Amino acid sequence: MQLKNTKEKFGWIAIGLHWIAAVGVIWLYFLGENIEHAKEDGLPREEVIGIIEYHVSIAMVFIVFLAARVVWHIVQPQPTKPRQHPALAILAYVVQWGFLAMIAIQIITGPLIVWSAPRPLLVFDIISIPSPFLERIDWLHEGGETVHKLASNLFWPLIALHVGAALKHLVLDRDGSVQRMLWVRNK
């Protein structure tokens, strides 16, 4: 079992970082939904802030893995992509970059929402990253929340396209593409 990528397949590091990122994005989405439900249910402000701080803490941990995934992608060879219709190749490219754009938007807007309150980013009460703002900036806070929520909702169509493409490669094309990103490998 190889750790690094080759032109034929992904290594275990790339596979692990892919699945950690996938779990992280979905987990953070549902944590964000918990924040919305807590506000709608009228939970006390302290409880809502606790849920937000947990969401922020998990997000800060996953940022490390997402950064590692991007760096690993840059420094490693990428397996040759399967042959497919040019329109599908373009769609795959758009979905991949769509994921990266949505993640970048979340990474930027998430801290801005907290800092514009102004509150420090707390990571499990171990690390505190102070706000660069001295007072609340309502337009930045409200705008950040709106963009953050819209971007999080755009993940679902991207995930549906990504899973649909994986199923196409697995069931119709049978080209081994899916197996390259799973622990179960073709010989």
Q: Is the pLDDT of residue 187 over 60?
A: no
Question: Rounded CA gap, 99 and 154, in Å?
Answer: 9
pLDDT at 1: 67
Return the bridge partners of 123, or none: 127
For 11, half-sphere exposure in the C-beta direction (CA atoms, 13 angstrom radius) is 14
Question: Which of 41, 72, 174, 139 lies closest to 166 in space, CA to CA?
Answer: 174
Residue whose token pair is 């042959």: 83
> What is the three-class DSSP state of 152?
helix
pTM across the whole model: 0.80
* Residue, of 95 and 186, whose pLDDT is higher: 95
Question: pLDDT (tens digit, 9 = 90+) per residue, 47-84?
Answer: 998 998 999 999 999 988 888 888 898 899 988 888 88
> How would you class 32 by CB atoms within 10 Å of its CB: exposed for 0-12, middle for 13-18, buried for 19 or more?
buried
